[in-house]
């Protein structure tokens, strides 16, 4: 047999050095995988941006490894690691046995003890991180529950402390929302009113940026009226966490927090926090409703619901300043019921109250939303007509003068003496030197002039020139 034949046969029978090396490397890598699988529950490598470049096993913690490659590894973190902001996927020094809670693919969480170190290039620059993690959930779960309860208590104390610095309910609510957003690591938080009459939802209180963009999705999320907080996403990808906090006064209100798009889902502790915070926000909303009602009662006449004398005067001052800025006139009308005492004497105070309520309805019917209507006391009423001169006011006075007796006859039966209106009118030009007291005095004098001249009429007080 020729030497060349022997050489060829030996070459085909024995593998080359390159093949032996390649086989050894493959075998070594498989052994490495097997050993890692025995010793650790997670092995990983990330690049300098903290994105996965390697992940083992597959699936890893219930996540498909292939889908995770290239993604932000920190999105797996369920909280701030061991409480100091530890991120095992962005190690800058070698660490051993550092704890961090990670999210599982099934929605649960797992505690891992990490050993990790940075990967360096030839110049000593960090190019990524390599590490392994061992499941410590069985040992850490009781401690984690206690730590979670402590964090919840601290967060609620912080919210209550911030609220306690304020007196007015709106500021209390804003402080509560700011503190809640901070405790959740959220971009913002808001209280959303969900009307029962089919009207669109509205954001009554807010803290943080991006509130307007999340309103439609947040309202739809809260509309489910679930017994527990719900998670969702806005149209621009922001992560939402919402809970219902209905008040005792029947207002259907929801509490919602949001994070930037592509952020991690909300964890169990955060869900517990917003549920607990919802009870605090509900109390603040009820406090605000009580303050509103007290303010309304302090400013309105309890029988007719019109402004009372004090509130009317305050509003007239404010409207006068606005009329001066806009350069328009304003008109004050004083109205007094003629023969009203006879109704109480003949038909009783219940009929008298119905007369006053009917007059209030007539006055509401002739004014615009920006005008003012008040019951000054007894059977005296007043109107403030912004942007209106005495000619237009006289037309309305005439309409009232003619319509009121017939409308009130339905209550009194029309027996004499009939209830009529005496009306005084005084107009103030924009920027006039006349103060409110002078204007009120002129309108009052004009009204009494109408009474002295037979009642059931109106009179205009014209300010003399010079």
Q: Do 286 and 271 belong to one domain?
A: yes
Q: Tell me, what CATH number does 9's domain have?
A: 3.30.450.20
Q: Do 7 and 110 belong to one domain?
A: yes
103 falls within a domain: yes
Q: Do 182 and 207 belong to one domain?
A: yes
Q: Do 155 and 238 belong to one domain?
A: yes
Instruction: Name the range with the highest mean pLDDT among 126-135, 168-177, 188-197, 261-270.
Output: 126-135
More confident residue, 380 or 108: 380
Q: Do 151 and 266 belong to one domain?
A: yes
Q: Do 292 and 335 belong to one domain?
A: no
74 falls within a domain: yes
Q: Do 337 and 427 belong to one domain?
A: yes
Look at residue 337 in the predicted model and tell me its pLDDT. 95
- The domain of 138 spans 3-142
Domain boundary among the residues 104, 127, 142 is at 142
Q: Tell me, what CATH number does 184's domain have?
A: 3.30.450.40
Q: Do 133 and 222 belong to one domain?
A: no
Look at residue 254 in the predicted model and tell me its pLDDT. 86
Is 60 exceeded by the pLDDT of residue 214?
A: yes
**103-115 pLDDT tens trace:** 888 877 788 889 9
Q: Do 150 and 240 belong to one domain?
A: yes
466 falls within a domain: no
**60-95 pLDDT tens trace:** 888 888 889 999 998 888 754 444 468 999 999 999
**Contact present, 362 and 466 (Cβ < 8 Å):** no
Q: Do 202 and 335 belong to one domain?
A: no
Q: Do 211 and 226 belong to one domain?
A: yes
Domain boundary among the residues 260, 276, 298 is at 298
409 falls within a domain: yes
Q: Do 57 and 109 belong to one domain?
A: yes
304 falls within a domain: no
**306-344 pLDDT tens trace:** 999 999 999 999 999 889 999 999 999 999 999 999 998
228 falls within a domain: yes
pLDDT-based confidence at 18, cuts 50/70/90?
A: low
Domain boundary among the residues 92, 111, 142 is at 142
Q: Tell me, what CATH number does 444's domain have?
A: 3.30.70.270
Average per-residue pLDDT for the chain: 83
Number of domains into which the chain is organized: 3
């Amino acid at each position: 047999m020729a030497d060349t034949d022997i050489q060829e046969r030996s070459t085909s029978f024995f593998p080359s050095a390159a093949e032996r090396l390649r086989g050894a490397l493959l075998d070594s890598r498989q052994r490495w995988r097997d050993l890692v699988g025995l010793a650790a529950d997670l092995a990983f490598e990330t690049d300098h941006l903290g994105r996965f470049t390697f992940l083992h096993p597959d699936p890893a913690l219930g996540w498909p490894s292939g889908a995770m490659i290239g993604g932000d590894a920190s999105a797996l973190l369920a909280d701030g690691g061991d409480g100091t902001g530890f991120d095992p996927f962005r190690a800058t020094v070698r660490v051993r046995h550092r704890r961090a809670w990670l999210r599982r693919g099934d929605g649960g969480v797992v505690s891992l003890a990490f050993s990790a170190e940075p990967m360096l290039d030839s110049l000593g620059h960090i190019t990524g991180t390599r590490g392994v993690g061992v499941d410590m959930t069985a040992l850490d779960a009781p401690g984690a529950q206690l730590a979670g309860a402590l964090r919840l208590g601290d967060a609620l104390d912080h919210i209550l402390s911030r609220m306690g610095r304020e007196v007015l309910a709106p500021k209390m609510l804003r402080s509560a929302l700011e503190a809640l957003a901070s405790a959740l690591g959220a971009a913002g938080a808001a209280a959303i009113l969900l009307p029962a009459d089919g009207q669109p939802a509205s954001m009554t209180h807010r803290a943080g940026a991006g509130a307007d963009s999340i309103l439609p999705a947040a309202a739809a999320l809260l509309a489910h009226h679930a017994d527990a907080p719900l998670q969702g996403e806005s149209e621009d990808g922001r992560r939402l966490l919402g809970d219902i906090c209905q008040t005792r006064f029947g207002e259907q209100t929801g509490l919602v927090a949001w994070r930037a798009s592509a952020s991690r889902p909300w964890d169990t502790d955060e869900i517990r926090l917003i549920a607990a915070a919802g009870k605090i926000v509900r109390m603040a909303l009820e406090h605000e409703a009580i303050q509103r009602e007290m303010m309304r009662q302090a400013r309105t006449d309890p029988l007719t619901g019109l402004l009372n004398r004090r509130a009317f005067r305050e509003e007239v001052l404010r409207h006068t300043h606005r009329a001066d800025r806009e350069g328009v006139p304003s008109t004050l009308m004083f109205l007094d019921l003629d023969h009203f005492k006879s109704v109480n004497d003949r038909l009783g105070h219940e009929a008298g109250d119905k007369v006053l309520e009917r007059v209030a309805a007539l006055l509401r019917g002739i004014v615009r939303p920006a005008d003012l209507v008040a019951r000054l006391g007894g059977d005296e009423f007043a109107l403030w007509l912004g942007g209106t001169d005495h000619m237009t006011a006289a037309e309305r006075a005439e309409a009232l003068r003619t319509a009121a007796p017939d409308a009130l006859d339905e209550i009194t039966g029309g027996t004499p003496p009939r209830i009529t209106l005496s009306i005084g009118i005084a107009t103030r030009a924009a920027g006039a030197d006349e103060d409110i007291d002078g204007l009120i005095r002129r309108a009052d004098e004009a009204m009494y002039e109408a009474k002295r001249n037979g009642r059931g009429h109106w009179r205009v007080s014209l300010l003399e020139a010079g």
